[in-house]
Amino acid sequence: MYKIISGKEVSEAVKLRVADEVKQLKANSIEPCLAVILVGDDPASRVYVNNKKKACEFCGIRSLEYVLPAETTQDELVALVEKLNEDKTVNGILCQLPLPKHLDEKTILNLIRPEKDVDAFHPENVGHIMIGDFNFLPCTPAGIMEMLRYEKIDLDGKNCVVIGRSNIVGKPMAMLMLKENATVTICHSRTKNLKEIVAGADVIVAAVGRPNFVTADMVKEGAVIIDVGINRMDDGKLCGDVDFDACKEKASYITPVPGGVGPMTIATLMQNTITATKIQAK
């Protein structure tokens, strides 16, 4: 019998913990502040930013929002990031991705000071993750680890397969699992014998961005399945990278879409903002 890992439930627990930390900081005259930059009018990005704003309100974190037109120049965006870098009342800076195509994403992400980089995309923070000595973790992989801890799923010695090799999810996910003494395989579009590799996994993390990519014949009995995918179908419904209905009968634990990993990403962002505040307050 499978158990659904509820991202809503786990994220609420994380946000309540963060709210307590915020109260303690405010008692010492320290007010955490997160600045979010949104360039353009991408509907999905607008939804994410709204959800981050709501989470800040819930946790008691001061939230600043900078909405810039799609035609914003590189120089204008650089100037805003530099201004926020210098603002001592701002603890975390997040630039919502994707940016319009004429803007250089890499330059902007690298410009955010590492101690304010609550997305953990700066090369310095990425390097710390590689050696297992980090202050921040990318929000989605960190959220997944929180879910596994919440359900007391031990990775020690387990065979884990991550499908997807992005810098945002796949690569850091593998590093975090390695840190917990798992044996990790990263699969991607060029992987041969993908079905056989995934079928040997105790834990599957699907982050490939293709609806219903993981099918029941790729899952062994009792596997833990974490679905990172968010895909909108022609009928408007959301679905993940995992064929949920078919795979759930073979899983011991499985995350739904929506209501699984998604809420954890925002909850972890709140935690990262508190971590940043504490570092800057020393």
Which of the residues 15, 52, 116, 158 is marked catalytic?
Answer: 52
195 carries an active-site annotation: no
Q: Is the peptide bond before 123 cis (omega within 30 degrees of 0)?
A: no
Query: Token pair 């963060």 is at which residue?
Result: 18
75 carries an active-site annotation: no
Q: Is the peptide bond before 258 cis (omega within 30 degrees of 0)?
A: yes
Residues with Cβ within 8 Å of residue 13, at least 6 apart in sequence: 150
Strand stretches in 195-281, DSSP E: 203-206, 223-227, 231-232, 238-239, 251-254
Phi first, then psi: what are they for 5, rounded to 5°? -90, 110
96 carries an active-site annotation: yes
Which of the residues 96, 116, 227, 243 is marked catalytic?
Answer: 96
Which of the residues 15, 116, 119, 241 is marked catalytic?
Answer: 119
Residues with Cβ within 8 Å of residue 124, at least 6 apart in sequence: 114
User: With contact defined as beta carbons under 8 Å apart, do 143 and 268 qualify?
Assistant: yes
What would the two tokens of residue 132 be?
A: 């297992």
The 10 Å CB-count burial string (b at 16+, else e) for 110-148 is ebbbbbbbbbbbbeebbebbeeeebbbbbbbbbbbbbbb
CA distances from 59 to 85, 181, 206, 270 (A): 23, 33, 30, 8
Q: Which of 102, 56, 107 is nearest to 81 (CA)?
A: 107
The CA angle 194-199-200, to the nearest 5 degrees, is 105
- Could you give the residue numbers annotated as active site? 52, 96, 119
